[in-house]
Amino acid sequence: MTGLDWGIVALYFVFAALVGLAMSQRAGRSLSEYFVGGRALPWWLAGTSMVATTFAADTPLAVTELVVRHGVAGNWLWWNMVMSGILTVFFYARLWRRAGVITDVEFTELRYGGRPAAILRGFRAAYLAIPINLIIMGWVNLAMMEIVSTAMDIPDVWALVLCFLLAASYSVMAGLWGVVVTDFFQFGLAMGGAIILAVFAVGAVGGITGLEAGLADAYGSSEAALALLPARGAAWMPMITFAVYLGVNWWASWYPGAEPGGGGYVAQRIFSARSERDGVLATLWFNIAHYAVRPWPWILVALASTILYPGLDNPREGYILAIVDLLPAGLTGLVMAGFAAAYMSTISTQLNWGASYLVNDLWARFAKPDADSRATIRVSRLATVLLMGASLVVTMFMDSIEGSWRFLLAIGAGTGLVLILRWYWWRINAWSEISAMVASLVVSVVLWRYAGLDPDDPAQWATIMLLTVGASTAVWLLVTFLTPAEEERVLRAFYLKVRPGGRGWKRVSAGLGLSAEPIDGGPLNWTNWVAGVASVYASLFGVGQIVFGHVGRGSACLFLALLCFVWIGRNLRPSRASLEPIPGVRS
């Protein structure tokens, strides 16, 4: 890091601080402004903010480890979630925007009623804001410490504290507007840095031709390294495991950023969109950028690192060493500023997101429901600061990103189906969600800790997933039918506000005199979902084919993606127009 490099990093920090100051007055107007941007975000800003949030300091390092160990196909560990993301685009984005809530946890008391709903809302708010949020911030902090300790000649803890304080400062001052505006520039900076590094890394191994030759030595053949699908019989991805990823994991598991039925910070950006259409387009752009635009620069650096730095005990270090060794002065600072940007975009979102639960769903709901706007904003800023400090403490006690990731997957396995169906089946109640969460946690921990099944073994992981999903589904279905349905007034109020439609609500809609309304968008939603999934995978694979010189195949994939986008554009009709109050119908 030369003086020029440090100057570039410092300029980035100054820019982030100025954005926080510029947006602070707007954020202080109301709780809605602070946590959902006054519901005024255009789709391109909301969607880019989602992408920037998922681009953390740990993301390129995690992709590097997957590629070094398993080749390009190792990315199926997260590529399988495309199907869940596209499901949110066409089935849930409109409904989330229509719900008019500030957090996805607040939705609990819109969908359900009485004390069980209040208990569920309070529990989920505390659960997501504190243990889950702190674990996520902890592993992002760990990754940043790893980057700093390898790339900079300063104590890693102090560099981490500096980045964290800057991210927290504009989150505290500017609320969601400060987060999303900086996210927009942070995404451009981080992607630019990743592309520059990929160019230098590929050049260092002799271009694409030299890369393929070197991969043949490292993996046994270049095909083994570059194959887009796992090899048949691969120990790291047996067929049963691949089948579970493609057929079960994406809809059955709750995981931050890929929640079945939407949720988390993805839902927060949808709430913030200025219209239902903006919410849909934001989520579609997020999935395209997340899965099809971003991965290849990281993958190319990871492949080059297997040649440049063979035998590393920690494969993630190869990405950082490439920055240190390959980039000239100035570009090193640009790429390090990109890493800081990626880190800060994720941390600022997690702080704002976590504080929204603490304030909207705990403090304002149970402690001070009559608090005025000024007091609520003060508490929101205080909650952000407290989360900041708590996450630094948690980071000091964490020693494994992978272990934390496995823990989150374990406790979320099996809850996805109830989160999906609560939108489209009136009979689901608060106890359904509560029992699904408890059963998933208990069954997965028992299988993991006491039945001798090892989640590090891919085949045994698949067994854990299938048993957990099967057991938790049986439990919540049984509980659903053994407990009373939600009161009619609650169901009617929810239906009139959100209008999900579908056969699962026929009983309620008929009672309101609305007959059997179809799901908003009707059967075209399913064709759009298929086209959306196909377009993302076709774009992803098409770009990869062109990068490695297979222009014909790559162009064919991109043409298929274009056809899918044209189909979606034709079918993306305006949402149901009959959402105005219906004369003579009361909730």
Single-letter amino acid, residue 6: W
**How far apart (Å, rounded) are the C-alpha atoms in residues 475 and 418?**
11
Three-class DSSP category at 287: helix
> What are the pLDDT tens digits along the chain (587 aa)?
778 888 888 888 888 778 777 777 776 677 888 888 888 899 999 999 999 888 877 788 889 999 999 999 999 988 999 999 999 999 999 999 999 999 999 999 999 999 999 999 999 999 888 888 888 888 788 777 777 776 666 676 777 677 677 777 767 777 777 888 888 888 888 889 899 999 999 999 999 999 999 998 888 888 888 998 998 888 889 999 999 999 998 898 877 677 888 888 899 899 999 998 899 999 999 999 999 988 999 999 999 999 999 988 889 889 989 998 999 988 888 888 888 888 888 888 888 889 999 999 999 999 988 888 888 888 988 998 898 888 888 877 766 555 555 566 656 677 889 999 999 999 999 999 999 989 988 998 898 888 888 877 888 888 988 999 999 999 999 999 999 999 999 999 999 999 998 899 999 998 888 877 888 777 788 999 999 999 999 999 999 999 998 999 999 999 999 999 999 988 876 555 445 555 445 54
pLDDT at residue 341, as a whole number: 81
Q: Are 102 and 35 in contact (CB under 8 A)?
A: yes
CA 360 centroid distance within chain: 21
Query: What string of DSSP letters covers 306-366?
Result: HHHSTT-SSTTHHHHHHHHHHPPTTHHHHHHHHHHHHHHHHHHHHHHHHHHIIIIIIIIII
Question: Which of 255, 282, 250 lies closest to 97, judged by CA?
Answer: 282
Question: Which of 63, 79, 419, 479 lies closest to 253, judged by CA?
Answer: 419
Dump strand ranges (E) for 199-340: none
**Is the CA virtual torsion 266, 272, 275, 278 positive or negative?**
negative
Q: In the CATH scheme, what is the code of domain 3-412?
A: 1.20.1730.10
Tally of CA atoms within 13 A in the half-sphere of 408 that contains its CB: 22
Q: Which residues contact 411 (CB under 8 A, 6 or more apart)?
A: 440, 441, 444, 445
- The torsion angles phi and psi of 534, rounded to 5 degrees, stand at -60, -40
Query: What string of DSSP letters covers 62-75?
Result: HHHHHHHHH-GGGG
Instruction: Specify the DSSP class assigned to residue 292.
Output: I
Distances (CA, A) of 268 to 34, 48, 186, 279, 363: 12, 13, 19, 10, 19
Q: Are 272 and 63 in contact (CB under 8 A)?
A: no
**How far apart (Å, rounded) are the C-alpha atoms in residues 400 and 135?**
11
**How far apart (Å, rounded) are the C-alpha atoms in residues 95 and 91?**
8
Q: Are 575 and 520 in contact (CB under 8 A)?
A: yes
Six-digit token string for 99: 């719900």
Instruction: Specify the DSSP class assigned to residue 37.
Output: G
- pTM for this predicted structure: 0.89
Beta bridge partners of 413: 253
Q: Are 284 and 277 in contact (CB under 8 A)?
A: no
Distances (CA, A) of 477 to 428, 472, 504: 9, 8, 15
**How far apart (Å, rounded) are the C-alpha atoms in residues 79 and 402?**
18
Consecutive H or E run containing 545: helix 524-547
Rg (CA), the chain: 24
Residues 544, 549, 550: CA angle, nearest 5 degrees: 75
**How far apart (Å, rounded) are the C-alpha atoms in residues 498 and 92?**
11
Distances (CA, A) of 70 to 73, 159, 311, 576: 7, 32, 14, 46
Residue 158 burial (CB < 10 Å; 0-12/13-18/19+)? exposed
Question: Which of 367, 376, 479, 372 lies closest to 126, judged by CA?
Answer: 367
**How far apart (Å, rounded) are the C-alpha atoms in residues 563 and 123?**
45
Residue with tokens 């066409």: 90
Six-digit token string for 131: 């243990």
CA 334 centroid distance within chain: 25
Three-class DSSP category at 41: strand
Question: Which of 175, 176, 350, 331 lies closest to 256, judged by CA?
Answer: 350
Domain boundaries, the chain: 3-412
**How far apart (Å, rounded) are the C-alpha atoms in residues 531 and 535?**
6
